[in-house]
Amino acid sequence: MKKLLPFLAACLVLALSSFIVLRPADAGYQVGDKAADFKLRNVDGKMVSLADNKAAKGYIVVFTCNTCPYAKAYEQRIIDLNTKYAAQGYPVVAINPNDPAVAPGDSFADMQKRAKDKKYAFPYLQDETQQVARQYGATRTPHLYVLTRQGNDFVVSYIGAIDDNSEDAKLVKTKYLENAMTDIIAGKPASVNSTKAIGCTIKWKRV
């Protein structure tokens, strides 16, 4: 029996391995960190990177998806953020980090349909390997990162939520992201530069 125990333990590990989920190896970016560029496929089939927009003063990078109820609740607010801030040099870049094998409805084809139906005026990128989400330390959908250009670099200036009411935009009391943007556009550090992202957990790949 004692000889069988190591064998049974190994079998158990193998059996459970198919349910192990790949999650970020570290905490990701903190405010003040330089964000590495990426190159991800947009819903129009083109590859997009931060360096593409030479006129950008920064970006509002939002990890979001098609299927999460929180992401759906914030969708119009994300569209409105792009309308407001793209003209001021801070366009939205939306990234879907979900594994469609885990979250049906988050496939590239479904992303294309969503972007078309909702008339997205910003890139909607597929993080197919989930490397960018891991690098940023994103854990939720939606999860926002404001990047500010400093020379050729983009520095993280705000991380977290859009506001304090995920259910009803009309009942929002504090607009975290917009308050941060007011400071950032004025050339000042955000007075509140980090809040807790509220949303669905990212659907990480299983191995």
pLDDT tens digits for range 129-159: 999 999 999 999 999 999 999 999 999 999 9
Average pLDDT over residues 73-96: 98
Do residues 51 and 59 lie in contact, with contact meaning Cβ atoms separated by under 8 Å? no
Q: What is the pLDDT of residue 171?
A: 97
Q: Has residue 21 got a pLDDT over 60?
A: no
Q: Has residue 19 got a pLDDT over 70?
A: no
Do residues 102 and 20 lie in contact, with contact meaning Cβ atoms separated by under 8 Å? no
Q: What angle do CA 121, 123, 124 make, to 5 degrees?
A: 110
Q: What is the pLDDT of residue 8?
A: 41
Written as six digits, the tokens of 165 are: 């009411």
Q: Has residue 22 got a pLDDT over 80?
A: no
Do residues 24 and 202 lie in contact, with contact meaning Cβ atoms separated by under 8 Å? no
Average pLDDT over residues 98-122: 97
Written as six digits, the tokens of 101 are: 């094998």
pTM to 2 decimals?
A: 0.87
In order of start, what are the domains of the chain with their CATH numbers?
25-201 (3.40.30.10)
Residue 20: which pLDDT band, with cuts at 50, 70 and 90?
very low
